[in-house]
Amino acid sequence: MAGSSFGTIFRITTWGESHGKALGVVIDGCPAGLPLEESDIQRYLDRRKPGASSVSTPRKEEDLVEILSGVFEGRTTGTPISLMIRNTSQISRDYSEIADCFRPGHADYTFDQKYGFRDYRGGGRSSGRETAGRVAAGAVACKALSQLGVDVCAYTRSIGPVEADLTRFDREAILSTPTAMPDREADRAAVAYLEAAKRETDSVGGCMECRVEGLPAGIGEPVFEKLDANLAKAVMSIGAVKAVEIGDGCQVSRRKGSENNDGFQMQDGRLYKTSNHAGGILGGISDGDTLLIRAHVKPTPSIYLPQDTVNRAGENTVLRIKGRHDPVIVPRAVVVMECMTALTLLDAMMVNLSARMDSLVDFYTRA
Amino acid sequence: MAGSSFGTIFRITTWGESHGKALGVVIDGCPAGLPLEESDIQRYLDRRKPGASSVSTPRKEEDLVEILSGVFEGRTTGTPISLMIRNTSQISRDYSEIADCFRPGHADYTFDQKYGFRDYRGGGRSSGRETAGRVAAGAVACKALSQLGVDVCAYTRSIGPVEADLTRFDREAILSTPTAMPDREADRAAVAYLEAAKRETDSVGGCMECRVEGLPAGIGEPVFEKLDANLAKAVMSIGAVKAVEIGDGCQVSRRKGSENNDGFQMQDGRLYKTSNHAGGILGGISDGDTLLIRAHVKPTPSIYLPQDTVNRAGENTVLRIKGRHDPVIVPRAVVVMECMTALTLLDAMMVNLSARMDSLVDFYTRA
Amino acid sequence: MAGSSFGTIFRITTWGESHGKALGVVIDGCPAGLPLEESDIQRYLDRRKPGASSVSTPRKEEDLVEILSGVFEGRTTGTPISLMIRNTSQISRDYSEIADCFRPGHADYTFDQKYGFRDYRGGGRSSGRETAGRVAAGAVACKALSQLGVDVCAYTRSIGPVEADLTRFDREAILSTPTAMPDREADRAAVAYLEAAKRETDSVGGCMECRVEGLPAGIGEPVFEKLDANLAKAVMSIGAVKAVEIGDGCQVSRRKGSENNDGFQMQDGRLYKTSNHAGGILGGISDGDTLLIRAHVKPTPSIYLPQDTVNRAGENTVLRIKGRHDPVIVPRAVVVMECMTALTLLDAMMVNLSARMDSLVDFYTRA
Amino acid sequence: MAGSSFGTIFRITTWGESHGKALGVVIDGCPAGLPLEESDIQRYLDRRKPGASSVSTPRKEEDLVEILSGVFEGRTTGTPISLMIRNTSQISRDYSEIADCFRPGHADYTFDQKYGFRDYRGGGRSSGRETAGRVAAGAVACKALSQLGVDVCAYTRSIGPVEADLTRFDREAILSTPTAMPDREADRAAVAYLEAAKRETDSVGGCMECRVEGLPAGIGEPVFEKLDANLAKAVMSIGAVKAVEIGDGCQVSRRKGSENNDGFQMQDGRLYKTSNHAGGILGGISDGDTLLIRAHVKPTPSIYLPQDTVNRAGENTVLRIKGRHDPVIVPRAVVVMECMTALTLLDAMMVNLSARMDSLVDFYTRA
């Protein structure tokens, strides 16, 4: 069944395996007239490129994007935008060990159970490399959102026990530190922590956060297409994410109503909330305040330590994973979270165009 | 835009406002031949009925379900099943205060921003009463799942600081305690805590959990229709839920890979996992182990304490909510979580029917 | 699988069997703020009511519609509109003959093959009565379209060999003649033809046509959601329709390009087509000209003449259908065609809102 | 809005413009385990290749397909299959005339109205070249259908006034004659007719037909996803098709019920229909008999004769189309009709897997 598409009006379909010929995405439903060139997309793909630092795999993936359709004379035409990234770094290697056994924490076993067999090269479709298509499409969504005054920004909130101090929020650091933290001090502590984990041939988990400014009130559709429900799906669909929080998230279950409710007040003729425990969403609809989403990411399952597992013949065995792997997933996943958020928001904003009859009348009967 | 449907093959559409004439749901895509009668559904609706205890609103809602179509001679026919619940308890009352101002923590403001106005009677479509349709449909899904050997069970995990001790797990207690906790001792402590909160005219939050036994491996569709992604959406779409966790959830962000990976082993010719941090899902596909989902629920936003807010004229005002409200949402939401989980799983199991070519050949070419 | 929904944004789901408790429809995605009352809908339902003339079945079906949700203080709220029609005229009768055998030209055999059994009372879900839900929803779509300046008008084009002369087009006649022809002279000839067929205890086929004025250019989505493709689906989904034509339809296969192309010309500063062979659609997108669709409808399959058939036990038998049936389907199907066309057009106009980036920017950044 | 996808479970998304870098399709939801190689697809693409005869445009388009993902070791993996065809023959030429004016019978005007501008090179997305993606995907569907015992065969029924005599049906001729007629005698007459039209610098219309053998009874979903409704949409979405007929099609509107009903009879323990006016579909569900669909195709709108039209500046002008064009669309569209039919049928067969509860129980509880 078709599970590779996301969105209702601004709808993307990703394709490609880790070590196949290429990966890509088709964006269907992008409005006509958006200025777009390959460099707009490449900028985002470069953020998930490995090999950028000591705490990332030294594999080289250039991930050069090619626009194959849907753009004419520098603008989107309203027809499908096909984006492709050729795989260039797959070297011929021996996959026999992972082909024959089920790596703990990976999808080897479940793919085999579902489909009867799998493309075992580098994890095939279940590889994190699959997210390249999401990021390429998300870059287009981000560009469209910026024209609508919406700014989406994801970053690493914590790595293992090391948490970013948001009072020192430095947006530029997100793009330049190895951890994608918005706090250079925490970044240095996290790098030290990661290097220790690498020495133990182990891996670590972390937390990422996304905040959105400029989103108007009224976005999201009751009762199943609520904005928070779709954001939860979008973010939970990123491999290794095991929990999603909106606003104060898990903390609300220990709160009193008198603490948790956000009051409304007028100031200078504008309504605002006196606090934002809700994270910008009430009843599944945006309230005009800052949107806040958090995702908890498990440690990289590929570790060099020996692990008990089972092979395809149904025999117990011990696995020692070779190859080059990130000791933490979060820093390269931050841009994926930003993109999945952007895709969800842009689609929801397009869906919202038809909420009121007077907008339709206005659209079709003016001049 | 259409946001009131859920599911791809087993697809439900709910309708109705809190104080309208009726509420209901249409189930489209239910397989033919499932034995079904009204009592199968009524049993689930009764679990979300208020007025059952000292810690629930004393409002009376009988919520009697009527099957209007899709069942013939005691079995589903494969055509749409329409279920309706007449609203009988709406008493004529004065809504002027909530009609004119935005209740903190509610969707009044966001509905007004989206649609220009709203049905303010009892919260209209944003009321928790909307979930009656979900529960009616979920009861049908649960019945179908039981024929497939899948058992879905949700319960209250914690209320405020009071947590159920799962080593004392008592399934019968879920249905008979006022808190829907599976632990009678914790239930008593939680009731005491709730009564104290009621005396303070305040409300409290809580946490609910759902576990599923008997789900086969292989359910869920990469990469956007992953089982965990759809469960997250399903559960986050329940009003007041602010965080969703799968398996060990938030804890994974502080783990090492060596701690978090679940090993595989063979025993008596069957593969099993040596632990279940993953909560039964790997790569978005079920792994045959127990499925575990957790949801954090905010305190009831309707509190009797005075609150600062704004009216529709854009003036600051102080709101004192009247009427009868639950001091905690969780106990009545547990059955909603169970139903949303069941709807997600049944649909995913139906979607999975076409995963392999040999199943199609078998289906269409056998005798 | 879910097959009872139609539309993407303005999305309807119909339910109900011919002789069940009730029939109905849920409209999800109707914009907020459309004035709506039951009489707006009743007017359309009355047009498909039987018993109105000598050439219609004398069965009585009052078909009174009830609005159960989605309308507050006389306007749609943006939430699902649930419409129900109670079945009141089902009299207890003996269905044993049709329960046990497959009526030629009906769906008895195919429903049994698909689902294993069927609700045989009056054809169950495959009855023409199913269209009551479509008409109820279509009435709402027509009301919305009228606010957008779009006028949809269907009528009987021919009955057997008797064709309406459109040079005598009389719109009022569509609503007042027994045949729904826009030409009173042809109506009289058709009635005579029908009465002769009734005397022979036979039935006859016919052709219906729908024309739409005021539809702006630009509606329809390449390449699979073309306006003509969706209209063809909408109209072909009406029971008994066996062919659909757009514009000159079948005639184009015998034409030369020089005859069939419609030229463009400017007049008084406005572009128009010098002919309309295309029927208002070019490349699947409306061109601003009159939309023209035609549907060919088979004769009523329920005839009183004895017919060879097979029973459920797999034995040859002879069937003599009892009961009261229309000698022709078309006159009562005309309003169904009008409604299916309206539903298709309104949805397509809502979908088109997001075709251009500048519209989005305008919508979200103006005051 | 997203209009480039087709199908529910076996779902395709096409992309690409006539003179862009490439065209392609992503197939999502193809079951795992289907043997597939590029030559399976190339065979179908070669059937729509121009330049094969005197009655086809002498343009050269090699249309070599590349499988980019979803196939591993010669079998489909259940993940998206990405197919790409590089455009190689676009020569740099002067499009200024068609860029600036609206070609009669083409989508130039409607694309401009919808999107504000268009990719005018060779018709862009509205070109017949768009169907290359449909054919590539359809080839995969045909291969899957053949494993299910379903045979789909389309051919040219008539060109202008020259009709194939089906009593001389020669399947091999469909693939080898320039007209794709199954009757070599009619083919020769049609070629003569086409050459005369070419000399007049005019074009002609035609009719194509598709018949399907081996389709089991029970396929199609009431009431909006009926098999005939989806086939009508599929075929009407092919550019230039203006009418679609099922079975006896338009003829039924002049029939009596006693003539049009197909009787049922048992023979050798099997049920069959004594005639097939219905074309294999009753109540929107296949009845096990031969499926028959017909499509009427307008003459190629690109003709060399001078035509009155309007330019983008809103001035009357006379257009003389240059370049190389087919004098008739049908022979190259036949394979597109075959593929759209195959895509519709395979999807409907996959959807039908969940029609009965006992099938689900069997699937999940056997072994």
B197 contacts A298? CB cut-off 8 A: no
Q: Is residue B212 within 8 Å of residue B345, measured between CB atoms?
A: yes
Indicate yes or no: CB of B359 within 8 angstroms of CB of D31: yes
Helix/strand/coil for A90: coil
Count of other CB atoms within 10 angstroms of residue C293: 27
Considering only residues A112 and D1, tell me which one the structure prediction assigns the higher pLDDT: A112
Mean pLDDT to the nearest integer, C312-336: 91
A72, A83, A121: best mutation site toward chain D, by most D Cβ within 10 Å?
A: A72
Among all residues of chain B, which has the CA nearest to that of A203?
A: B257
β partners of residue C155: C209
**Measured between CA atoms, how close is C230 to chain D, in angstroms?**
6
Q: D284-298: string of b/e by CB count within 10 Å (b at 16+)?
A: bbbbbbebbbbbbbb
- Could you say which residues of chain A have pLDDT below 70? 1, 51-54, 57-61, 89-94, 324, 367
Averaged pLDDT, D185-202: 96
DSSP state of B240: T
Residue of A11, A12, A108, A110 to mutate, interface with B, max B Cβ within 10 Å? A110
Q: How far apart are CA C353 and CA B72, in angstroms?
A: 43
pLDDT score recorded for residue C326: 87
ipTM exceeds 0.90, yes or no? yes
Q: What is the pLDDT of residue C331?
A: 97
List phi, psi (to 5°) of D72.
-140, 130
Residue A206 forms contact with B (CB below 8 Å): yes
D285's tokens: 């569900």
Residue of chain C nearest A222, judged by CA positions? C79
C42, pLDDT greater than 70: yes
Strands of the sheet containing D5-6, edge to edge, are D5-6, D11-16, D22-28, D81-86, D65-67
- Note the pLDDT of residue B89: 67
Return d(Cα C193, Cα C160) in angstroms, integer: 8
The end-to-end CA distance of chain C, in Å, is: 45
Residue D54, judged by CB atoms within 10 A of its CB (0-12, 13-18, 19+), counts as exposed
D-contacting chains (≥3 CB pairs under 8 Å): A, B, C
* CB < 8 Å to A231, chain B: 236
Distance CA A24, CA A81 (A): 11
D252: preceding bond cis by omega (within 30 degrees): no
For chains A and C, what is the number of CB pairs under 8 angstroms? 88
Which pLDDT score, from 0 to 100, does residue D71 have? 98
Contacts of A18 in chain B (CB under 8 A): none
Summary mean pLDDT of chain D: 94
Q: How many CB pairs lie under 8 A apart between chains B and D?
A: 88
Distance CA(D337)–CA(C49), nearest Å, equals: 39
Segment among A58-67, B78-87, B88-97 with least mean pLDDT: B88-97
Which residue in the set B9, B147, B355 is minimally distant from D354, CB to CB?
B9
Maximum Cα–Cα distance across chain C: 74
Nearest to A141 by CA among A41, A211, A49, A238: A41
Q: Most A CBs within 10 Å: which of D82, D88, D96, D110, as the mutation test of the A interface?
A: D82
Residue C83's pLDDT band, with cuts at 50, 70 and 90, is very high
Where does the pLDDT of residue D92 fall: very low under 50, low under 70, confident under 90, or very high at 90 and above? low
Dist. CA C262–CA C260, nearest whole Å: 6
DSSP string for residues in B116-177: SS---GGGGGGSGGGHHHHHHHHHHHHHHHHHTT-EEEEEEEEETTEE--GGG--HHHHHHS
What does the pLDDT average to over B264-268?
95
Q: Does C217 touch chain A (CB under 8 A)?
A: no
Given this model, what pLDDT does residue C172 score?
A: 97
Half-sphere exposure of D226 (CA within 13 A, CB side): 30
CB A178 within 8 A of CB A54: yes
Q: How far apart are CA D208 and CA D48, in angstroms?
A: 14
Q: How far off is chain C from B135, nearest CA to CA, in Å?
A: 17
Please tell me the predicted confidence (pLDDT) of residue C62.
82
On chain B, the residues whose CB falls within 8 A of the CB of A358 are 116
Cα-based distances in Å from D8 to B243, C225, D5, D123: 31, 14, 9, 29
**Better pLDDT: D99 or C296:** C296
Q: In one letter, which amino acid is D174?
A: I
Q: Is C298 on the interface with B (CB under 8 A)?
A: no
All residues of chain B having their beta carbon less than 8 Å from the beta carbon of residue A254 are: 158, 160-161, 205
D106 with D123: CB under 8 angstroms? Answer: yes
CB contact under 8 Å between A255 and B355, yes or no, is no
Backbone conformation region of residue C29, classed left if phi is above 0, alpha if psi is from -120 to 50, else beta: left
The single-letter DSSP state of residue D353 is G
Q: Is the pLDDT score of D101 beyond 70?
A: yes
D196 at interface of C, judged by CB pairs closer than 8 A: no
- Report how far residue A221's alpha carbon sits from residue A275's, in angstroms, rounded to the nearest whole number: 24
Of B8, B254, B298, the CB nearest to A205: B254
| Count of domains for chain B | 1
Identify the top-confidence range among B42-56, C50-64, C184-198, D78-92. Answer: C184-198
**Count of C-beta atoms within a 10 Å radius of residue B172:** 9
Residue B174: half-sphere exposure toward Cβ, Cα within 13 Å: 25
Do residue D21 and residue A75 have CB atoms under 8 angstroms apart? no
Query: Looking at B216-220, C117-121, D42-46, which range is the least confident one?
Result: C117-121
The pLDDT of residue C144: 98
Q: Does the pLDDT value for residue C89 go beyond 70?
A: no
Q: What is the mean pLDDT of residues C219-237?
A: 98
Residue B291 has pLDDT above 80, yes or no: yes
Where b means 16+ CB within 10 Å and e means fewer, D134-170 reads: bbbbbbbbbbbbebbebebbbbbbbbbebbbeeeeeb
Question: In this prediction, what percent of chain D has a pLDDT beyond 70?
Answer: 95
Greatest Cα-to-Cα distance within chain B, rounded to the nearest angstrom: 74
Averaged pLDDT for residues B78-91: 89
- Beta carbons within 8 Å of C129's beta carbon, 6+ residues apart: C16, C17, C18, C23, C61, C122, C123
Report the residue of chain B nearest C17, measured CA to CA.
Answer: B69
Separation in Å, CA of D85 to nearest CA in chain A: 11
Q: How far apart are CA C3 and CA D223, in angstroms?
A: 6
Of residues B127, B8, B106, the one with CA closest to residue B61: B127
The answer to whether the beta carbons of residues A220 and A286 sit under 8 Å apart is: yes
Instruction: State the CATH number of the domain containing residue B16.
Output: 3.60.150.10
For helices B131-147 and D357-365, angle between their N-to-C axes, nearest 10 degrees: 60
Scan for tokens 């599911």, then name that residue.
B7
Helices (H), C224-329: 227-236, 257-260
A167 inside 8 A of chain C by CB:
no
Per-residue confidence (pLDDT) for residue D99, from 0 to 100: 86
Residue to substitute from A9, A10, A15, A66, interface D, most D β-carbons within 10 A = A15
Tokens, residue A320: 């020692």
Which chain D residue is nearest to residue B350, measuring alpha carbons? D354
Inform me whether the C-beta atom of residue A142 falls under 8 Å from chain B C-beta atoms. Answer: no
Query: Mean of the pLDDT values across residues D268-274?
Result: 95
Strand arrangement, sheet containing A241-246: A162-163, A151-159, A206-213, A291-297, A241-246, B241-246, B291-297, B206-213, B151-159, B162-163
The rounded distance, in Å, linking the Cα atoms of A109 and A104 is 9
C128 φ, ψ (degrees, to nearest 5): -60, -20
Chain C: residue nearest D267 by CA? C316
H-helix segments, chain A:
38-47, 96-100, 108-115, 131-147, 171-176, 184-199, 227-236, 257-260, 330-351, 357-365
pLDDT of B76 over the 60 cut:
yes
- Dihedral over alpha carbons B206, B210, B211, B212 (to 10 degrees): 180
Query: What are the backbone dihedrals phi and psi of residue A264, each rounded to the nearest 5 degrees, phi first?
Result: -105, 145
- pLDDT digits 0-9 by tens, D116-155: 999 998 889 999 999 999 999 999 999 999 999 999 999 9
Query: Are the C-beta atoms of residues A321 and A304 closer than 8 Å to each other?
Result: yes
Residue D70 has its nearest CB partner, among A15, A68, A118, at A15
Copy the structure tokens of residue D139: 């080839």
CB-based contact C105 D255, cutoff 8 Å: no
What is chain C's mean pLDDT, rounded?
94
Nearest by CB to A26, from D15, D70, D78: name it.
D15
Cβ-defined contact of B357 to D144 (cutoff 8 Å)? yes
Provide DSSP, C89-137.
Answer: -------HHHHHB--TTSSHHHHHHHHSS---GGGGGGSGGGHHHHHHH
Contact partners of B by the rule of 3+ C-beta pairs under 8 A?
A, C, D
The mean pLDDT of chain B is 94
Domain span holding position A158: 5-365
- Residue A23: strand pairing partners: A85
A217 touches chain C (CB under 8 A): no
Which residue of C76, C350, C356 is in closest CB contact with A32? C356
Judged by CB atoms within 8 Å, which residues 97-126 of A form the interface with D? 114-119, 121, 124-125
Percent of chain B with pLDDT over 70: 95
Residue D361 is given by DSSP the state H
CA distance A294 to B181: 28
Please name the residue of chain B whose CA is at the shortest distance from the CA of residue C15: B80
Question: Model confidence over B170-202: pLDDT tens digits?
Answer: 999 999 999 999 999 999 999 999 999 999 999
What pLDDT is stored for residue A88 in this prediction? Answer: 85
pLDDT per position as a tens digit, D50-75:
755 667 766 666 899 999 999 999 99
Token code pair at residue A340: 């999945």
